[in-house]
């Protein structure tokens, strides 16, 4: 009889030999019937969880560690295909066979390979097993033990597991950051690197951040253009480290644009949020995703998803889309949770919604849930309802009560909220001064300055902050120059040392500065009306650096840039011909459609001001004036009666000039510059009376135009002069010195070009002790108008 090839003796001997070679294989094969289909193949054929759980129950005595990992993986794949994820996850987690897999993992984790171990940890966490669960802790400990041998893919997934447990600052995450730092030069997989960058971002030094950004740039071309998740993680990393690095942002943005039809609501919402945090505005992205989001409006009928769509689309939607969004959210308003209502009211604030019915409905939901909101949320609600012009005494009384609960009265001021607030401000002022004096790193200071807002800071700590910036002035370089410039422009504080340093850094390091940063750099010079040394070289270098990017910039940014430069009497011809071009203005119109109304009006007004400046100061460019209709709509309104101070000044001027028919109030000049008061003196400095058309009630006079530059019938006798009197409040001057700011200086130039002698009266002079009596003010006006103290 022929001996069977697989006799029991030989099979047993072979398996013993196999066990000696590889204990892992032995555990897989020891009790598996030889002719059966492998269990992993059977798992792969399962079409639902119940089939998989049946397999686990039937084979739990012989399941290997590899099959445990496969089972978890298949379970998670089933979950990702489902809606109502939370309910499904809870059902799976409580299933008896899930508990079987749990115990099998506990017993077999030390035999799992690295990839399987970390995958199991990741998938267990996706089923909402708590981070303090013994199995999760054991898996993390086992992974920590193997950490140094992990390849980058496994290390990346493990870092995600730790991040999901909020262990961003843990020693273990620090160890991962160290491994990445030591191996950065050899890493060639941007997918793994991008995951690691997001996970370790909280533990990276500035030098390490720069190395990671440089490595990302080197590897970016190695990825397929469809890799939107890699691009998203790169943007998320930049947001985490608060670094608006435009070259990478632009490249990531191109990836998003080329795959926009594949982006879902959650992804687009995330990118909008990241871009907002980074102050990265891309008109093309907004326009294309707006179209994509608009297509989604009919697809969502559940509050959770529709609220998310409302929040992201609402602020950029056109009139028709807004109407559709508001009507739909109104229909499902009864189903909104307190947090969904909060999100909706925030979006309505950005939309500047005037849908009174919807405002009242959302406000009623907020009112019911006021006691459940955190203090910061109450402040958001207050701001939103004020912007939306919502009025309800009952609502605001309750809101005020909740905010005062929040303040917590102290012992010194038990019944005095104002006193308590004053004491708090004094403490903040004290600690603020202490911190400023201790700063020895400019970049750390800049990070804190980004978040500071409000007049309290400006009044209390500004001097100390500027002194600290001066102390650290040598640390200004290409990486922080735009941030410093933007901060200075916000403060209205003129410090020539800092501005000169900014100009010097730009001239020396322009090649390292991204063109998009030029806007922030030019802004303080424009706002504060300051020309640095080598003025023309500085502005010329900035514009030359930006020229090649003009086609990539949002139209509104180019308009603002042109206006900034115009206030400084700098009119680059190429830039202006780019702006005053039919194709460009059509692009601008398209962008205006997606801007909320306040910004829309601001952009249109800046374009008008730029058009006016070019027509008056650069007639040789032959750019036409095309804002007559806009200005007539803007100014063709009753501006109301003169206020008390204006009435008082008007009467004084009438006395000084010899009658009310010798002075005009609220005058519009050619090109629509409004001026407070106007009068005319003949060649002997004698006031000339106006005709009976003079209006003194505060209403705008009728305007008659001839060639856009002269008022019909306004030709003056030989030697006569037209005088414009402007009363300037504190907004016209720098905060720290009486230096005229950019817009006021430009207006003075324009009035002089139009033939006026301009008398600007600063509020500090008019309200000074020296002019505290009527007679002193009358003498002051005579001196300014006639120059000799006599009428």
Q: Which sequence spans correspond to the domains of the chain?
A: 434-634, 638-692+714-786
Cβ–Cβ contacts within 10 Å for residue 656, how many? 21
pLDDT for residue 253 is more than 60: yes
**Banded pLDDT at 489 (limits 50, 70, 90):** very high
The confidence score (pLDDT) of residue 6 equals 35
Residue 518: both structure tokens together: 């030029």
User: In 3-state terms, what secondary structure has residue 618?
Assistant: coil
Burial class of residue 140 (count of CB atoms within 10 Å of its CB; 0-12, 13-18, 19+): buried
The confidence score (pLDDT) of residue 634 equals 87
**Banded pLDDT at 418 (limits 50, 70, 90):** low
Instruction: List the single range of 133-137, 339-343, 427-431, 435-439 with lowest mean pLDDT.
Output: 427-431
**Which of the given ranges, 23-37, 59-73, 617-631, has the highest pLDDT on average?**
617-631
The confidence score (pLDDT) of residue 79 equals 85
Instruction: List the single range of 2-11, 230-239, 725-734 with lowest mean pLDDT.
Output: 2-11
The Cα 304–Cα 282 span in angstroms is: 27
**Banded pLDDT at 759 (limits 50, 70, 90):** very high
The confidence score (pLDDT) of residue 270 equals 96
Residue % of the chain over a pLDDT of 90: 65
For the entire predicted model, the pTM comes to: 0.80
Q: pLDDT tens across 549-582, in order?
A: 888 888 999 999 999 999 999 999 999 999 999 9
Angle of helix 742-753 relative to helix 555-567, nearest 10 degrees, comes to 70
φ, ψ dihedrals at 336, nearest 5°:
-70, 140
Averaged pLDDT, 449-460:
65
The confidence score (pLDDT) of residue 89 equals 82
pLDDT for residue 411 is more than 60: no
> In this structure, what is the dihedral angle of CA atoms 394, 395, 398, 399, given to the nearest 10 degrees?
-150
């Amino acid at each position: 009889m022929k001996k069977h090839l697989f006799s029991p003796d030989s099979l047993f001997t072979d398996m013993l030999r196999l066990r000696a070679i590889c204990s892992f294989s032995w555990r897989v094969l020891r009790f598996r019937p030889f002719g059966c289909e492998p269990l992993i193949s059977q798992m792969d054929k399962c079409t639902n969880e119940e089939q998989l759980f049946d397999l686990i129950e039937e084979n739990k005595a012989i399941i290997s560690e590899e099959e445990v990992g496969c089972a978890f993986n298949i379970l998670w794949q089933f979950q990702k295909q489902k809606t109502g994820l939370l309910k499904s996850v809870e059902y799976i987690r409580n299933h008896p066979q899930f508990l079987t897999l749990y115990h099998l993992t506990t017993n077999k984790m030390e035999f799992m390979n690295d990839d399987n171990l970390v995958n199991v940890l990741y998938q267990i966490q996706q089923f909402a097993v708590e981070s303090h669960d013994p199995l999760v802790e054991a898996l993390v400990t086992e992974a920590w033990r193997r950490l140094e041998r992990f390849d980058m893919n496994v290390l990346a997934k493990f870092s995600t597991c730790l991040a999901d447990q909020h262990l961003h600052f843990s020693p273990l995450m620090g160890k991962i950051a160290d491994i990445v730092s030591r191996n950065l030069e050899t890493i060639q997989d941007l997918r793994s690197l991008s995951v690691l960058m997001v996970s370790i971002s909280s533990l990276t030094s500035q030098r390490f951040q720069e190395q990671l950004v440089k490595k990302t740039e080197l590897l970016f071309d190695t990825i397929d253009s469809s890799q939107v998740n890699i691009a998203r993680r790169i943007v998320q990393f930049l947001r985490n480290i608060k670094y608006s690095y435009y070259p990478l942002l632009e490249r990531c943005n191109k990836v998003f644009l080329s795959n926009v039809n594949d982006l879902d609501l959650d992804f687009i919402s995330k990118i909008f949020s990241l871009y907002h945090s980074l102050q990265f505005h891309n008109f093309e992205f907004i326009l294309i995703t707006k179209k994509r989001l608009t297509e989604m409006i009919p697809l969502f009928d559940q509050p959770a998803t529709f609220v998310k769509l409302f929040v992201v689309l609402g602020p950029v939607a056109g009139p028709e889309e807004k109407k559709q969004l508001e009507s739909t959210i109104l229909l499902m308003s009864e189903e909104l949770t307190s947090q969904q209502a909060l999100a909706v009211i925030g979006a309505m604030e950005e939309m500047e919604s005037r849908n009174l019915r919807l405002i009242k409905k959302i406000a009623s939901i907020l009112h019911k849930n006021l006691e459940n909101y955190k203090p910061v949320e109450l402040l958001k609600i207050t701001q939103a309802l004020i912007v939306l012009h919502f009025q309800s005494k009952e609502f605001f009384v309750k809101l005020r009560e909740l905010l005062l609960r929040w303040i917590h009265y102290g012992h010194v001021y038990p019944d005095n909220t104002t006193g308590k607030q004053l004491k708090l401000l004094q403490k903040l002022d004290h600690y603020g001064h202490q911190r400023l004096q201790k700063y020895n790193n400019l970049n750390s200071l800049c990070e804190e300055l980004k978040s500071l807002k409000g007049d309290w800071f400006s009044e209390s700590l500004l001097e100390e902050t500027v002194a600290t910036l001066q102390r650290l002035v040598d640390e200004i370089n290409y990486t922080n120059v735009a941030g410093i410039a933007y901060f200075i422009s916000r403060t209205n504080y003129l410090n020539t040392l800092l501005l000169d340093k900014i100009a010097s850094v730009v001239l020396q390091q322009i090649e390292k500065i991204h063109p998009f940063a030029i806007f922030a750099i030019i802004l303080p010079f424009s706002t504060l009306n300051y020309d640095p040394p080598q003025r023309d070289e500085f502005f010329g270098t900035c514009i030359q650096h930006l020229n090649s990017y003009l086609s990539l910039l949002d139209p509104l940014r180019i308009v603002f840039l042109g206006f900034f430069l115009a206030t400084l009497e700098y009119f680059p011809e190429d830039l202006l011909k780019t702006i005053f071009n039919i194709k460009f203005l059509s692009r601008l119109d398209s962008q205006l459609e997606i801007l909320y109304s306040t910004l829309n009006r601001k952009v249109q007004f800046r374009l008008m001001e730029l058009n006016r400046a070019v027509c008056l100061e650069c007639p040789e460019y032959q750019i036409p004036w095309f804002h007559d209709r806009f200005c007539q709509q803007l100014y063709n309104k009753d501006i109301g009666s003169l206020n008390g101070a204006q009435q008082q000044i008007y009467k004084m001027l009438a006395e000084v000039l010899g009658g009310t028919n010798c002075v005009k109030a609220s005058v519009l000049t050619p090109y629509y510059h409004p001026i407070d008061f106007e009068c005319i003196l003949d060649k002997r400095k004698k006031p000339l009376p106006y005709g009976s058309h003079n209006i003194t009630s505060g209403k705008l006079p009728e305007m008659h135009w001839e060639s856009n530059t002269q008022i019909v019938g306004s030709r003056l006798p030989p030697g006569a002069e037209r005088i414009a009197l402007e009363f300037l409040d504190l907004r016209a001057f720098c905060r720290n010195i009486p230096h005229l700011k950019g817009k006021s200086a430009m207006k003075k130039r324009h009035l002089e070009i139009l033939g006026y002698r301009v008398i600007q009266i600063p509020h500090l002079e008019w309200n000074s002790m020296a002019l505290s009596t009527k007679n002193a003010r009358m003498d002051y006006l005579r001196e300014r108008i006639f120059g000799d103290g006599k009428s």
